[in-house]
Structure 1
Amino acid sequence: MVSQYFSTEDFDLEMQTNCHRSATTLSANVLDLRSIIPQLSERHHYGQEDYSEEEVEITNYNDVDSEKIHSIRVKPKRIHQNPQTPMVLPSTHKPKNLLSWLKQKTYLKEFFAEFLGTMVMIIFGSSVLCQVICANKLQDNGFNDKMVQFNDTEVSNSLENLKLVFATGVAGSFDNIAFGWAAAVTMGYLTAGGSTISGGHLNPSITIANCVFRAFPIKKVPIYVAGQLFGAIFGCLIAFGLYKEVIVEAFTNWWDHEAVGAMFCTMPMPFLSSARQFLSELLCTAMLQACIFALTDPYTSLSTNVFPILLFILVFVINASMSLQTAASMNLARDFGPRLALTMLGFSKQILWSDYYHYFWVPIIAPILGALLGGLIYDIFIYQGNDSPVNWPHASYVNYMEKRLNKDVKDECLYTHEDGSKDRNRKTDKGRNLNVDIREVENSNLSMSNYNTK
């Protein structure tokens, strides 16, 4: 924030408070600070060393007391920044080193965002499972050790039954898991920068659904999926390292115990057939994708300020209602990444890749198809935007596929401005999932307009 130094010492407390509030409200483009001493011009704005006239404009005026008054003009933010945040990168901001350049100028900024967001999600989500499962197992081990002291088998069996009825975990239960995963997804989304950098997909299924239904650039899909997969692998390794001693204490043969695998990847109920497993994951992901499209619909959704809260509620209600059968993976990276990590740690390959009718393929295929199904259903019944193929003229489908695969045609897009003029030279911003520049192609009779869902 801008620091304030008042030139008049007898400024009363109320006036200082009002000036402070005015100075810290930087969502407006122009900010006039009326009683700031000349030293303000020597201080750095947001840590920047150099300024140009475009960035900060300071003008001196003479009042009755011959004191200098400064007017500061803050330029609009760059398009990739959240317009609701108070901090502003100046228009002349330039990367200071290689890492800063990679984060700002290349697709790696989106890879980094998806990697970090997915890693945070897996760390929190897997850790809450480790905490609940290991604590309950340690409690059971302590109870069983006490039961050995009884010589009467009938008494031991009675106490065992009472434990199953009345005993509760010391570190949580199913409710903690549902809440923990909902918070993990929300924190991962926010850590990835929300909608400002990559969109915080954290899920290949969501990335693919946005590519099909929201004109997300197809060439960015591998970058997003790679970031999500590597983030899940590293997140699993970090969570395992955090709880390794507890896991070894609770499970003697941890590398061959199903409960340990369930801490990091999903495990179905043993009596479910492959078809039932597939159906469970398909419906869970369809509900997830349909609701996400609803929460980000620019025509019907609420304010974007409440999206993280609604995302938390969405993930919680899915886990609380639809996760009994297959633990509601809904995410290729969330399940497949930890499986690869556990394989590297020496966990049983039989449990990971063969048990439950080779279940490992279900969280890979079913979430993708479920996301496409959920997106299709929502667009058929609710969505009105022309960026969805559901709302295109039928003659446009073939032309669109040809033009999307042709880079030369894709770069020469037509844009219709508010005044009706068209521009061929404007470049598209292809880097975000929810802030999408929609193209209008005359040959395919496809009319689209720019929109911002975040």
Structure 2
Amino acid sequence: MSPSLEEEQLAWSRIREYCMDAFSEFFGTMVLILFGDGVVAQVVLSGSTKGDYQSISWGWGIAVMFGVFVGGKSGGHLNPAVTFANCLYRGHPWRKLPVYALAQLLGAMVGAAIVYGNYKSAFDAFEGGAGIRTVTGPTASAGVFCTYPAPFMTRTGMFFSEFIASSILMFCIFALVDPNNVNAGHMMPLALFFLIFGIGACFGWETGYAINLARDFGPRLVSYMIGYGHEVWSAGGYYFWIPMVAPFCGTAFGGFLYDVFLYTGNSPINTPMLGLTRLFRPRKNVWSNTRPSAIDTKV
């Protein structure tokens, strides 16, 4: 006997509740990429007649704002490096890190695919024909999807640019959510709008301020799938790995700075020896922040 409609709805309600974090991060990141890659597509494919670099900065700010509005039920991280820093310093369960990261990556890929589908005719016209897709050159359009460094950048400069932007991002996020600071509260999405706009306007030129593995790697993978070829990985001296690694280093450092100098709440930093003694105590109540005493453990 088939279940009643009410039973089916209740079953889906249970599934939705169980998967809410994943759904929230997926759709939040998808919206992030829809607006972010969308504005880059409009500027690049129109030959800068429908916007300029500042349009891109505004567009990415809007992208993050609405992404956080959509993904707010899970915290609106939208970024594996932000999730990592929250696990490291704010007691976010480590077991959720792979769930969040996978949902963010898949959401970014779907967002990029939708942008491509919407602008496919514009890609054909800009590149000079259907099926022509280039990463470098006067009609290159690969930058719509992911970031590529400026030609003059050194490998050290590339890493440092992404590192410093990610550090600023996490330092400011921790300030915005600190209950003992000004605290953005319900204005958090709007505050993030200006934060991302500021990072883009002030630090975005050299590497495109990816500051997010999901935002860069997901659309880059989509661009590879739709015909841009191996150059999406080799361009910039195989630059692709830097937006995958530097944001984690940057958010960890930015969070560390905030907790050392400004944060007075529960944090591993606010324990003896900056929490380093916990490394030598392999007990569950030390290593697992899913337990209530994880951060408050006396060390």
Normalising by the residue count of structure 2, what TM-score does the alignment of the two structures yield? 0.90
- 1:369 alignment partner in structure 2: 249
Q: Is the 8 Å Cα contact of residues 95 and 101 (structure 1) preserved in structure 2?
A: no
Alignment counterpart, residue 360 of structure 1, candidates 237, 240, 258:
240
Q: Does 1:114 align with 2:25?
A: yes
3-state SS in 1 of match to 2:255: helix
Q: Is the 8 Å Cα contact of residues 121 and 188 (structure 1) preserved in structure 2?
A: yes
In 2, the alpha carbon distance for the partners of 1:410 and 1:187 equals 29
Summarize deviations over 1:379-424 as a string: whole Å, max 9, x none.
Answer: 11100012x11101238524765325777x965x56xxxxxxxxxx
Q: Is the 8 Å Cα contact of residues 130 and 263 (structure 1) preserved in structure 2?
A: yes
- 2:55 alignment partner in structure 1: 176
- 1:123 alignment partner in structure 2: 34
Alignment counterpart, residue 274 of structure 1, candidates 140, 155, 163:
155
Given residue 143 of structure 2, which amino acid in structure 1 is its aligned partner? Answer: A
In 1, the alpha carbon distance for the partners of 2:186 and 2:165 equals 25
Structure with greater helix percent: 2
Shift of 1:271: 2.1
Q: Is the 8 Å Cα contact of residues 251 and 257 (structure 1) preserved in structure 2?
A: no
In 2, the alpha carbon distance for the partners of 1:295 and 1:214 equals 14
Shift of 1:101: 1.1
- 2:3 alignment partner in structure 1: none
Map residues 21-36 of structure 1 onto 2, 5 A cutoff.
none
Shift of 1:440: 3.9
Q: Is the 8 Å Cα contact of residues 329 and 335 (structure 1) preserved in structure 2?
A: yes
Q: Is the 8 Å Cα contact of residues 171 and 257 (structure 2) preserved in structure 1?
A: yes
- 1:255 alignment partner in structure 2: 133
Q: How many residues of Structure 1 are paired with residues of Structure 2 in the alignment?
A: 287
- 1:103 alignment partner in structure 2: 16
In 2, the alpha carbon distance for the partners of 1:381 and 1:312 equals 25
Map residues 262-301 of structure 1 onto 2, 5 A cutoff.
262-301=143-182
Q: Does 1:191 align with 2:102?
A: no
Alignment counterpart, residue 88 of structure 2, candidates 199, 212, 219:
212
In 1, the alpha carbon distance for the partners of 2:287 and 2:105 equals 28
Whichever of the two has the greater Rg, that structure is 1
RMSD between aligned alpha carbons? 2.2
Distance 1:234 1:400, change over 3 A: farther
Return structure 1 stretches of 4+ with deviation > 6 angstroms.
Answer: none
Gaps of 5+ in 2: 1-6
- 1:382 alignment partner in structure 2: 262
Distance 1:318 1:367, change over 3 A: same
Gaps of 5+ in 1: 1-93, 137-168, 415-437, 447-454
Q: Which has the higher contact order (CA 8 A, sep 6+)?
A: 2
In 2, the alpha carbon distance for the partners of 1:97 and 1:362 equals 45
Given residue 171 of structure 1, which amino acid in structure 2 is its aligned partner? Answer: K
User: Between the two proteins, what is the percent identity of the paired residues?
Assistant: 37
Q: Is the 8 Å Cα contact of residues 228 and 333 (structure 1) preserved in structure 2?
A: yes
Normalising by the residue count of structure 1, what TM-score does the alignment of the two structures yield? 0.60
Q: Is the 8 Å Cα contact of residues 120 and 187 (structure 1) preserved in structure 2?
A: yes
Q: Does 1:393 align with 2:272?
A: yes
